[in-house]
Amino acid sequence: MKRLRSTDDDVRRRLPLDDPSVDALDERLRKRLGVQWASRATAELRVAAIFAAVSRDLLAVGADPAVLRVVTRAVSDEVRHADICRLLACRYLGREVPWPAPRKAVMPELAEAPEEIRPTLHVVAMGCINETIATAWLEVSREGATSALARAAIRELMADDVHHARMAWAHLASAEVTPAARRAVGVWMGALLDAAATPWLGRSKDVVEEGCPEHGVPSLARTRAVVRETVREVVLPGFVRLGVPVDRGEAWERRTFVRK
């Protein structure tokens, strides 16, 4: 039987895995970065599972064909992202890192939301919020990176996340989403931000909190600043332009980031 071509086959050719800057790192920091990349592989696979559920729901209720093409492709994009992160984990750790364990789609808790608008709420959470934040964070990660390997990996991830975010905003702006549904997004804004933005802010044993910008890893403090700036300057204004009430989103932002 002919072997299926793996993501590795395509990605390895574009990633400079022999980047000497990795070997020049202090061993302890290099291993910590490897653990963080392994953790990111698991997170990317989790996102793939969520996009699979979102795709299923949009196919069931209907969406613009251009939106459907991007959201269904996003599943394979995120699987590829998991492989990229795993490959970097292998390189930094200096050993083989297994493929992440299977992930279930963990959707925002929206049991009280009308069933007919839940697919749109999930698109908003994953695309308008999460992938918009991810795109901004990856841009900051790339700006500080001097490692050829980190820059190449970030470029691969960012190219797809930009499309995922645009897909979500396009869906929210489309004729498939009624003005009433857009108003409903405003009602659930706090829950959507809690589900999609809050995870970016927390500490984790797998995160290099002080960061390593030259290897594409912003500090936790810089990450939190990026999330705040993106929510305040991109996400909430984007909702306003589409007629989505943002009073609950602004309350979330004030509650989450105490203004000095």
> pLDDT for 204-248, tens place per residue?
888 999 999 999 999 999 999 999 999 999 999 999 999 999 999
pLDDT of residue 260: 38
Q: Is the distance from CB of 141 to CB of 154 less than 8 angstroms?
A: yes
Dist. CA 84–CA 15, nearest whole Å: 9
Using 50, 70 and 90 to split pLDDT, how confident is the model at 63? Answer: very high
Stretch 119-134: mean pLDDT? 96
pTM of the model: 0.94
pLDDT of residue 135: 98
pLDDT in tens, 30-58: 999 999 999 999 999 999 999 999 999 99
Examine the pLDDT at 136 and tell me if it is beyond 50.
yes
Dist. CA 140–CA 224, nearest whole Å: 12
Examine the pLDDT at 1 and tell me if it is beyond 50.
no
What does each C-alpha distance from 95 to 15, 38, 40, 86 come to in angstroms?
A: 17, 12, 17, 11
What rounded mean pLDDT belongs to the chain? Answer: 93
Dist. CA 10–CA 103, nearest whole Å: 24
Tell me which of 1.25.10, 2.60.40, 1.20.1260, 3.40.50 is the CATH number of domain 7-107+114-256: 1.20.1260
pLDDT in tens, 86-111: 999 999 999 999 999 987 777 777 87
CA dihedral sign, ordered 69, 73, 75, 78: negative
pLDDT in tens, 184-193: 999 999 999 9
